[in-house]
Chains A and B, each alone.
Chain A
């Protein structure tokens, strides 16, 4: 899996968009970008994933640059319940199914 780099912490005001960046400059062509989050003491929760195109679901949007070297997770209207650690992971599956590599992630704090 390609190494990913994220800022250690970010703040966001409630109701505003939270934009979480991730650098994955060595990502290979068959590696997807996944985002998970972990709310205090709970198991990680899948948010979204993408390969080349931008993706949107009910939780968030994922913007991947054209060269795929970086991506941004967007929470359009952050709430206090979005305070969590957010993990960006590059993973290809294949023979490494089941082996997600979690880094330190970004601690997002949403404040009133």
Chain B
């Protein structure tokens, strides 16, 4: 299994440009999430999904859109990039275990700079 993969690894955008960060998982996990991490800070949840066709907002959703058309893919769209969106973006997937808990598996991250 490749686990959780993210592309691209690095991206530089100009203010106002749009782009899509890709995330894919091959573990058949129901739940997927997007986080951002600013320098020296903890992770903050942007959007998450509990299954194909179902998404919801996290702590910092403004400026981002998501969709989940398949179990495997959960792309994150930046509508009009701003310097405040310069950050490292992590995608994660998770499953609910028979023991009643769940664990998140994280991708390697996309480092985005908006100038």
List residues of A whose CB falls within 8 A of some B CB. Answer: 32, 34, 36, 41-46, 49, 51, 87, 93, 97-105
Contacts and interface: CB of A to CB of B under 8 A. Distances in A.
Contacts of B101: 32, 34, 49, 51, 93
B61 interface: no
Interface of chain B, helix or strand or loop or mixed? strand
B109 interface: yes
A43 B103 contact: no
Interface range on chain B (Cβ under 8 Å from partner): 20 to 34
Given A97-B50, A100-B43, 8 more contacts: A34-B101, A42-B109, A43-B108, A44-B43, A44-B90, A49-B101, A87-B42, A98-B92
Contact of A97 (B44, B102, B107): B102
Contacts of A101: 45, 59
A104 B43 CA distance: 8
B100 interface: yes
Contact of B103 (A46, A99, A102, A103): A46
B102 A104 contact: no
A102 B60 CA distance: 13
Nearest to B49: A98
